Amino acid sequence: MSDNQSPLYGVMAAFDSPDSLIFASKSVVKAGYCKFDTYTPFPVHGIEKAMNLKPSPLPWLVLCGGLFGASAGFGLQTWVSIKGYALVISGKPLFSYQAFVPVTFELMILFSAFAAVFGMFAINKLPQFYHPVFTQKCFESVTTDGFFLMIECADPQFDLAAVHQLLEKQGGFNIVDVRDEG
């Protein structure tokens, strides 16, 4: 399937354990690469530190979602009770903020959850039906026992020979050039 005319996407290597993957990630960071990714069958603790990843912006998205939900819930109830349908209920003032708390609270939770779930999808660029790594037969083991690391050629200091050498030195095997056939 591999077609040499397709543009190069990156160089991928397999590793035999989470520990060697973490070790390799550290060396790749040390060598100055920033555009690379790792692929594992399960979450590997400590990999985000080894890859020198920035903290996720997701908490801020959730905070915004929560603030939006709370203010929307409180605002809607205020408008409905005071202007939209100004009904006196059990002799209480129209602006009975105590009664608004449960709905405000629930909408805050709802919108925080929306922000968390959909924000997570967006940050992870999901759903993704095609990725250049899918062209590699050996990559199928990523769902069982394969640990992969790929340095992408979008990296400013990408050099094919140097990358091959680095991955080999770190104990990577099945080193392949991944081409984007999409």
Partner 1 sequence: MKSVEVKAEQLSGRFSKFTQIHVAVAAIFGLVSLVLVNSQANHGLPMYLSVFMFFLTITLGGLFWVTIFHLTRSGWSVVVRRLFEHLMNRVGLMALLFIPIVLGLHGLYEWTHEAHVMHDHLLQVKAPYLNQPFFIVRSIVYFIVWFVLARGFFNDSTQQDINGDPLLTARSQKRSTYGILLYAITISFAGIDWIMTLTPHWYSTMFGVYIFAGAALSSLCMVSLLALFLRRNGFLSTVISVEHYHDLGKLIYGFVIFWAYIGFSQYFLIWYANIPEETMFYLSRNTAAWKAVSLMLVFGHFLVPFVLFMSRHMKRNRVIHACIAAWILLMHAIDMVWLVLPTFYPNGYMPTVLDIAIIIALAAAYGAAVWKGLDTVALFAHQDPRVDESMRFENV
Cβ closest to partner 1, residue 89 vs residue 126: 89
Contact residues toward partner 1 (CB under 8 A) are: 45, 90-91, 98-99, 101-102
CB of 25 to partner 1, least distance (A): 17
Give 67's Cβ-side CA count (13 Å radius): 6
Cβ closest to partner 1, residue 98 vs residue 144: 98
**171 exposure class (CB count in 10 Å sphere: 0-12, 13-18, 19+):** middle
Give 25's Cβ-side CA count (13 Å radius): 25
- Spatial distance between the Cα atoms of 180 and 9, rounded to a whole number of angstroms: 6
CB of 10 to partner 1, least distance (A): 28
CB of 111 to partner 1, least distance (A): 16
Cβ closest to partner 1, residue 36 vs residue 100: 100
